[in-house]
Amino acid sequence: MRVSLGRGPAIKELFVIPRQLRCRATLLPLVAAACHQGGQRSLLAAHVAGCYQFAQLDGRPLRSASGFWMAPVRLDTTLVPVDSDNGYTVRAGYYSVTTLARIPATAAIDTAIFRTGWEILLLDTVLVTRSTGLAGQAIRLQPRARDFAGVAFWFNDVVDSTRQPQLDSVLAKRVSCPHDT
């Protein structure tokens, strides 16, 4: 089963909805609203925005040829363009992610070809995506006190039976943002 996140490539078998729940998909907004009204706090972009150090649970940084995840990244509330049928468009609720790492010139192409952004899904999930349009990663995070924890799914739409999707458990620890100069 291929499931699309609403932009870019479809991701295979990451967020599979069981057959018995598919017919109930139209009820999801109503259920989400009921949960919110039931006292569950929903995330707000202004509260999520800030700097985070992303790492695997063993403390190693997430993989990137350029070292994008070596230093903290800033989840900003600046809107960024997303792919659409008519080229790039700005979509409300899809925000900028920038690395605070100094990317060496020899690795700059890795960062230049990837589009990185974040958005809030439903009430309590942050989705960070970093994609070339063919390959990349989708990171689903949920709040854990001041931080976030979740799963990074690495995908590649190139047809190659030797490549298997990779999953990593992730911790996004809130850190102080350096002052802008």
pLDDT in tens, the chain (181 residues): 344 444 444 433 333 333 333 333 333 333 344 344 444 568 999 999 999 999 999 999 888 878 888 899 999 999 988 776 776 778 889 999 999 988 877 777 777 788 899 999 988 999 999 988 788 899 999 999 999 999 999 888 776 666 666 888 999 999 999 875 4
Decide if 26 is inside a domain.
Answer: no
Decide if 93 is inside a domain.
Answer: yes
Write down the pLDDT at residue 164: 64
Decide if 142 is inside a domain.
Answer: yes
Number of domains forming the structure of the chain: 1
Decide if 37 is inside a domain.
Answer: no
Decide if 150 is inside a domain.
Answer: yes
Write down the pLDDT at residue 40: 54
Decide if 14 is inside a domain.
Answer: no
Write down the pLDDT at residue 167: 87
Decide if 113 is inside a domain.
Answer: yes
Write down the pLDDT at residue 45: 94
Write down the pLDDT at residue 132: 85
Write down the pLDDT at residue 112: 77
Decide if 114 is inside a domain.
Answer: yes
Classified as helix, coil or strand, 165 is coil
Write down the pLDDT at residue 180: 55
* Contact in structure between 51 and 173 (CB atoms under 8 Å): no
Cβ contacts of 114 within 8 Å, gap of 6 or more: 68, 130, 131, 132, 136
Q: What is the DSSP letter of 28?
A: H
Classified as helix, coil or strand, 17 is coil
Opening angle at CA 97, ends 91 and 99, nearest 5: 160
Q: Could you list the residue range(s) of the whole structural domain that residue 158 is in? A: 43-175
Write down the pLDDT at residue 81: 82
Q: Is the pTM of this model over 0.75?
A: no
